């Protein structure tokens, strides 16, 4: 199992965003999680394509100028979705995920993301049914299970997400066994080093963590503690 740690820059110091991205990658992170909120679909307002474009050159392995590009994982908490997708693709997003409730045509939006050259993901809120996955498994590169209600960092992990992750892991494994493409299973909200092992055991492979990492003085020590827990999973 390949595990990926995806710090959410929502909890970074926005006045020093490029440096924060380099520092967290130097500390061993694998993916940059980029939370886009619109004060409409969710009750908060964050960053858009211009900031994504500004961050793109800093998203390199090890935080080094000559490192390989690291994926920027754009989590759209916006309505409407389609209007903004090409802007994020042009701004250097690698993965774009969205909430099905925010799109009138989920299949069309997934196609639009892939046609724009990005990997496509669907995000399921704590109360959102897995039924949304039924007819689109072949169009997904990522499924993101929310373990908090979207809108804010620093919330408590909702334990029911573990059962949901197990159910989605079974769906992904069945899809793969039938010859389907790879699909990452990501979790977002309240992930810390003291619960990451149980979350991995439930089937997640990609772990968003905002406050747990950016709230600490030493990013590398949190990320290595998370990796040690993952190694024991
Ligand atoms: C919440 C965002 C999360 C958030 C996670 O709507 O999607 O990515 O930053 O923050 P923590 O890890 O602090 O729960
Ligand atoms: Zn997020």
Name the residues annotated as catalytic: 35, 188
Q: From 6, 10, 196, give the residue whose CB has the most ligand 1 atoms within 8 Å, as the site to mutate.
A: 10
pLDDT digits (tens, 9 = 90+) for 51-91: 999 999 999 999 999 999 999 999 999 999 999 999 999 99
Residues whose CB is less than 8 angstroms from the CB of residue 169 and which lie 6 or more positions away in sequence, other chains included: 185, 202, 203, 204
pTM for the model stands at: 0.98
pLDDT digits (tens, 9 = 90+) for 190-211: 999 999 999 999 999 999 999 9
pLDDT digits (tens, 9 = 90+) for 16-35: 999 999 999 999 999 999 99
d(CA 63, CA 28): 9
Ligand 2 centre to CA of 142 (Å) is 13
3-state secondary structure of 70: coil
Residue 72: the pLDDT is 99
Residue 129: the pLDDT is 98
Ligand 1 atom, smallest distance to 11 CA:
9
Contact residues of ligand 1, CB 6 A cut-off = 8, 10-11, 33, 35, 75, 148, 150-151, 153-155, 188-191, 208-212
Structure confidence at residue 43 as a pLDDT band (50, 70, 90): very high
């Amino acid at each position: 199992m390949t595990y990926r740690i995806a710090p959410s820059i929502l909890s970074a110091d926005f006045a020093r965003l490029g440096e924060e991205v380099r520092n967290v990658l130097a500390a061993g992170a694998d993916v940059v999680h980029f939370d886009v909120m619109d004060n409409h679909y969710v009750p908060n307002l964050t960053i858009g394509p211009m900031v994504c474009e500004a961050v793109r050159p800093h998203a390199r392995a090890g935080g080094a100028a000559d490192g390989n590009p690291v994926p920027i994982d754009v989590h759209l908490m916006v309505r409407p979705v389609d209007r903004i997708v090409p802007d994020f693709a042009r701004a250097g997003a690698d993965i774009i995920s969205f909430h099905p409730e925010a799109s009138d045509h989920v299949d069309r939006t997934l196609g639009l993301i892939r046609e724009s050259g990005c990997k496509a993901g669907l995000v399921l809120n704590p109360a959102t049914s897995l039924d949304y996955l039924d007819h689109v498994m072949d169009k997904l590169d990522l499924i993101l299970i929310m373990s908090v209600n979207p809108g804010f960092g620093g919330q408590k992990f909702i334990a029911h997400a573990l059962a949901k992750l197990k159910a989605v892991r079974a769906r992904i494994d069945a899809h793969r066994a039938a010859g389907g493409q790879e699909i990452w299973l990501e979790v977002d909200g309240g992930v810390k080093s003291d619960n990451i092992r149980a979350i991995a055991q439930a089937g997640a492979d990609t772990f968003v963590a905002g406050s747990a990492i950016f709230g600490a003085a030493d990013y590398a020590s949190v990320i290595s503690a998370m990796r040690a827990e993952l190694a024991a999973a």
